[in-house]
Amino acid sequence: MATQSSLAKPNVRDGAPAERPSLTLTRRFSAAPEKVYAAWADPQKLVQWFGPVSVEAGSVKADIDLRVGGHYRISFRANGTYNEVGGVYREVVPNQRLVFSWAWHSTPERESLVTISIRPEGGGSLLVFNHALFVDAAARDNHQRGWTECLGKLESYLA
């Protein structure tokens, strides 16, 4: 299914950015919202598809405490490098919405925010993925590449 992308650009007023860069990806899946949500919420499912295409097979590990205030941690190897990301769930609405902070272990001060919205559409689901509060446009662009690949793997997993 087609992916749509929009990249928010910072507004500049008086020489200072008014907002931090963000990205939004939209993806349609033939799977029901419950299955799409479970792929994000169940660590045994998430490890089967998570990460960009460069992730080494079998290297993804996930610890998820799926509740408001609960923490998650995901680690994987890609291109011979160990990567670890984690954060805290801020909103959990089963089969509809997840909101969580996002920070790489190597740069915890660069925390950003992910919002995943899922709704029924036709015989499947519409997922709107927003990642906001990037430190700069380069970080946003790197994440856009990774998330686009990740959502492609999710589509294959759900097929």
- Average pLDDT over the chain reads 91
* Structural class in CATH, domain 21-158: alpha beta
Q: What is the pLDDT of residues 14-72, one digit of tens each?
A: 555 558 999 999 999 999 999 999 999 999 999 999 999 999 999 999 999 999 999 99
Q: What is the rounded CA–CA span in Å between residue 29 and residue 34?
A: 12
Q: What is the rounded CA–CA span in Å between residue 143 and residue 22?
A: 10
Q: Residue 123: phi, psi to the nearest 5? A: -95, 10
- Judge contact between 34 and 158, C-beta under 8 A: no
CA-nearest of 126, 100, 105, 115 to 22 is 115
Domain boundaries, the chain: 21-158
The whole model's pTM is what? 0.87
* pLDDT higher than 80, residue 11: no
